[in-house]
Structure 1
Amino acid sequence: MDGFERAAIVGAGTMGRGIARLLAGRGVAVSLCDRDEALAEAGRATLVEDVQAAVRRGELPADEAARTLARVRSAADLASAVDGAELVVEAIPEVLEAKREVWQRLAGCVGGEAVLTTNTSSFDIDVVVGDLGASGRALGMHWYNPAYLVPCVELVPARGTDPAVVDRVATFLRSVGKSPAVVANRAGFVGNRIQFAMIAEAFRCLEEGVASAQDIDAIVRDSFGFRLGDYGPFQVADMNGLDVYQGILEYLAGQLGERFAPAQELLGRVRAGRLGLKTGSGVYPWPAEAARAALSQRDERLRSRLRSREVAG
């Protein structure tokens, strides 16, 4: 079977509850566990409160909420949680030794066919998994908070992960409304490398007195962040011109340090004349008709975003 009907979530905190809510809402029976039964029960109680609050706000029909909650149970311990589970999601806090300890315990109690995943945002998957004999069916599955809303889930194969397992998990995630992206097992993966480069630079701007925290937030929200709601960084770069980006990065590198030095992937494209929409190719190919359509679509999407802000305000 390609999908999963029964899942165990190890960790009943914010991320574990969010993943449980999403899976249960899509028809998966979920067992929720933590360090002890009391924490698991407290986690389920908080999940119940969250779902009921969504009903009161009109975000979720009452009957759908009831079905979701009926699919989530708290388990007394790890062994009872994973018993019969086809998918195991370790979602305890980001403490490496704690994660390794859980995975060592998993080795002795999971079924022989269960797919095992760790919801780590940055750790080396091979280090987390360790010497688990089931490494062929173990991988990273990095969800973003809130897990029941944010579409992207990064899938990070370990050294010995079976590619068929990765494909199966990706297919399952798409079936429950997520957007899986397979990435290499590198520190921070992709999302957090980019996200934390931004937050590090934001704090530098604050420290240097370039702008207030409020103005820095407003600039990000209303400038490049406004566009990133619909487009990724490479799409935006292609629209604006890779040669423009090279020039800006070279100036910033000269003024602020080598952390801004343009990568060879960018320099090579500029040397080859692949500057984006204006030359027919950049990071992506842009036939003339597709380029015109992309710019028109971009403007309409941004206008729609502005209108939604006005309605919300």
Structure 2
Amino acid sequence: MGGGIAQVMAMAGIPVNLADASPELTVTNLERLNKEAAEFEAEGLFPAGSADRIRENLSAAESIEDAVRSVDYIAEAVPEVPAIKQDVHSRIDAAKRPEAIVGSNTSTIQIESMAPAFADASTFLGVHFSNPSPFIPGVEIIAHPGTDENVIATVENFVSAVGKVGARIKDNAGFVLNRLQYVLLKESIEIVEEGIATAEDVDKIVSTTFGFRTPFFGPFVIADMAGLDVYKFCFAQLEEHFGDKMKTPKMLTDLVDAGKLGTKSGGGFTDLTAEQTAELIAYRNKAYARLSQLIAELGPPPTAAR
């Protein structure tokens, strides 16, 4: 993860100091990142000239302290082990400039729980990229109660400047990405354990049905396009079989009771004019058709039956 984040920043023209568990490992990873960048460019995955730009902007530091001493932004991406995080954060805090921002690339650990490692935690927050960082656009930006508002705004601008899409998230375990992702995996495992479908068929259904929509739309827009009255009816059926686990959400019930049924009524989770709704549906149809064409061009993934 750290290497991918470094590539993203270096490709954007930002000088980056790398530091790993040892100087030798840092040099090894620097060589790997440069080699990967050249391969990605040759395959057309990186724009022309990216490999040279990355090579020019990446350098290996002797230590964490040397890497962070004079920089403006520090991206920490060490393993998801609180003791390791605390040790690394303490070393960073002792060596960095007071105004330097520290962004932890944690997946599930609450940011506030890590803040005590810093004498002044106002410049500390979560900046969660997704793997592989060079190719996944979304970044969660998670402030703890003591994070300075100006720091949050600066990081939002920084994330945008390196070509990513930032979303400001409140500090909670798992944030948004993994809270949703792990719920999906848990339910998928239960489906397999109950003998309803094989793991292969669950993956097939996810990637070819609702997962086919999610590259373009989140769950709220998808629900609006389907009709919130339909969702309310379906929730009632699911609640009958699964109980409170699938109880109809009050937010959904309130919208339907108010006549807000989604795009067909002009409002739901989102409010769209008739003209915007027509544009949305046209975009949806084009997006799904183009994605089908891309999948046909790429062929099935190596995990799929051939």
Q: Decide: shared fold, TM above 0.5.
A: yes
Contact map agreement 2:192 2:198 (CA 8 A) in 1: yes
Distance between the aligned counterparts of 2:59 and 2:178, measured in 1? Answer: 32
Listed one character per residue, the Cα deviations across residues 30-83 of structure 1 (whole Å, up to 9, x for unaligned) are 111122212212221221221122133243466431221121111111110101
- Unpaired runs of 5+ residues, structure 2, are 300-306
Please, which of 256, 259, 262 is the counterpart of residue 245 of structure 2? 259
For 1:112, the aligned partner's letter is: P
Report the number of matched residues. 299
Show the counterpart of 2:85. 99
Q: Match of 1:20, SS? A: helix
Matches for 1:123-138 after TM superposition, within 5 Å: 123-138=109-124
Listed one character per residue, the Cα deviations across residues 11-42 of structure 1 (whole Å, up to 9, x for unaligned) are xxxx0000000000000111111222122122
Identity, in percent, stands at 33
Q: Does the alignment pair 1:174 with 2:181?
A: no
Q: Match of 2:94, SS? A: coil
Q: Match of 1:85, SS? A: coil
Write out the 4+ residue segments of structure 1 that deviate beyond 4 Å after TM superposition: none
Please, which of 92, 101, 119 is the counterpart of residue 115 of structure 1? 101
Contact map agreement 2:22 2:63 (CA 8 A) in 1: yes
Q: Match of 1:153, SS? A: strand
Distance between the aligned counterparts of 2:223 and 2:47, measured in 1? Answer: 41
Distance between the aligned counterparts of 2:167 and 2:222, measured in 1? Answer: 19
Q: Match of 2:264, SS? A: helix
Distance between the aligned counterparts of 2:222 and 2:46, measured in 1? Answer: 34
Contact map agreement 2:41 2:50 (CA 8 A) in 1: no
Q: Does the alignment pair 1:303 with 2:302?
A: no
Show the counterpart of 2:41. 55
Query: Which 10-residue stretch deviates more, 18-27 or 61-70?
Result: 61-70
The Cα shift of 1:147 comes to: 0.7
Q: Match of 2:170, SS? A: coil
Distance between the aligned counterparts of 2:141 and 2:45, measured in 1? Answer: 29
Distance between the aligned counterparts of 1:278 and 1:61, measured in 2? Answer: 41
For 1:95, the aligned partner's letter is: V
The Cα shift of 1:146 comes to: 0.8
Query: Which 10-residue stretch deviates more, 125-134 or 272-281?
Result: 125-134
Show the counterpart of 2:177. 191
Distance between the aligned counterparts of 2:47 and 2:137, measured in 1? Answer: 21
Show the counterpart of 1:77. 63
1:288/1:108 CA distance change after superposition, 3 Å: same
Query: Which 10-residue stretch deviates more, 227-236 or 41-50?
Result: 41-50
The Cα shift of 1:199 comes to: 0.9
TM-score (norm 1): 0.91
Distance between the aligned counterparts of 1:95 and 1:64, measured in 2? Answer: 33
The Cα shift of 1:162 comes to: 0.8
Query: Which 10-residue stretch deviates more, 52-61 or 179-188?
Result: 52-61
Show the counterpart of 2:277. 291
Show the counterpart of 1:238. 224
TM-score (norm 2): 0.93
Show the counterpart of 1:213. 199
Distance between the aligned counterparts of 1:126 and 1:177, measured in 2? Answer: 27
Q: Does the alignment pair 1:158 with 2:144?
A: yes
1:106/1:287 CA distance change after superposition, 3 Å: same
Listed one character per residue, the Cα deviations across residues 261-310 of structure 1 (whole Å, up to 9, x for unaligned) are 22222222122121101111100112222222222221121111112222
- Unpaired runs of 5+ residues, structure 1, are 1-14
Show the counterpart of 1:3. none
Show the counterpart of 2:302. none
The Cα shift of 1:169 comes to: 0.7
